[in-house]
Amino acid sequence: MLVVKVLHLWMVVSWFAGLFYLPRIFVNLAMVKEDSIAERERLLLMAGKLYRFMTPIGFLAVALGLWLWLGYGFSGGWLHAKTALVILLVGYHAYCGRLLRDFKAGVKMRSHVWFRWFNEVPVLLLLAATYLVVMKPF
């Protein structure tokens, strides 16, 4: 089970790297001037590759977490709360995919300031999840 735990942590760290960086690319995309086609295309290429790379990693992080859940059992309110946070993260990931599709389609997006705030969501969710796992407050 320790190997599964190590793999789970590795996938979670890797997934979060993508969840932290993809919205930063969105900030840059929101700031690109309309006449800067090459810059926009380069950022879209980077964002698309990152999303395709981080999606299976996120899937593996969740799958390994479920394996641990089944191995250790599901007990304690902290684990219910952490599961809710994971569901929020999966939703955040999916919403990032929708935003990427909108950017590719040229749909008018929100401001770069909105994306800067949007970028902070996974930071807060990671802080909350880490607190729950380490402290097991309930």
Mean pLDDT of 26-50: 96
Q: Count CB atoms within 10 A of the CB of residue 28.
A: 16
Query: What are the DSSP E strand ranges found in the chain?
Result: none
Residues 6 or more apart whose CB falls under 8 angstroms from that of 26 comprise 47, 96, 99, 100, 103, 109, 115, 118, 119
Tell me the pLDDT tens digit for each residue of 69-123: 988 877 789 999 999 999 999 999 999 999 999 999 998 889 999 999 999 999 9
Mean pLDDT of 44-53: 98
pLDDT value, residue 98 = 97
Using DSSP's 3-state secondary structure scheme, residue 115 falls into helix
Residue 45 pLDDT > 90: yes
The mean pLDDT value of the chain amounts to 95
Q: What is the residue range of 115's domain? A: 2-135
Query: What are the DSSP E strand ranges found in 10-124?
Result: none
Tally the domains of the chain. 1
Model pTM score: 0.94
Mean pLDDT of 33-51: 96
